[in-house]
């Protein structure tokens, strides 16, 4: 599918065909979403579908995890007219942080951080 084509009838998830399969091996994610991000209608429909389950919810801020989560998270925040909180890999923030260990999609143990002044209890 080319980057300008928009199907005449857009079924839910039509934009998933824009993602290219991994051709570089097991050290890379299984799909590459970068073509989806380049397609204006595909990106808009993807964000709308991601936000659909949260319609009517009170949302103060949208958070996204480094680095792919920054793209969709920021797009969702912009759509909602809310702020965006970047959850970073450890060592990337130069301010006070709170850290949390996690296991990534490949099974590796890592630590993520968030700045302490970005959110407050409640």
Q: Is the pLDDT of residue 81 over 70?
A: yes
Confidence of residue 4 (pLDDT cuts 50, 70, 90): confident
pTM to 2 decimal places: 0.83
Q: Which has more pLDDT, 12 or 28?
A: 12
Residue pair 46/72 in contact by the 8 Å Cβ criterion: yes
Return all residues near 35 (Cβ < 8 A) that are at least 6 apart: 3, 18, 19, 20
**Cα torsion angle, 48, 53, 58, 64, sign:** negative
Report the distance separating Cα 77 and Cα 59, nearest Å: 10
């Amino acid at each position: 599918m080319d980057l300008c084509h928009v199907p005449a009838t857009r079924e839910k998830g039509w934009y998933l065909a824009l993602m290219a399969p991994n051709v570089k091996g097991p050290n890379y994610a299984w799909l590459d979403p970068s073509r989806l991000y380049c397609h204006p209608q595909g990106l808009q429909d993807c964000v709308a579908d991601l936000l659909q389950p949260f319609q009517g919810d009170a949302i103060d801020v949208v958070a996204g995890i480094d680095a792919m989560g920054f793209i969709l998270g920021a797009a969702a925040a912009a759509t909602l007219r809310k702020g965006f909180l970047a959850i970073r890999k450890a060592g990337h923030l130069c301010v006070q942080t709170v850290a949390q260990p996690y296991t990534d999609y490949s099974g590796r143990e890592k630590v993520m951080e968030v700045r302490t002044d970005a959110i407050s209890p409640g």
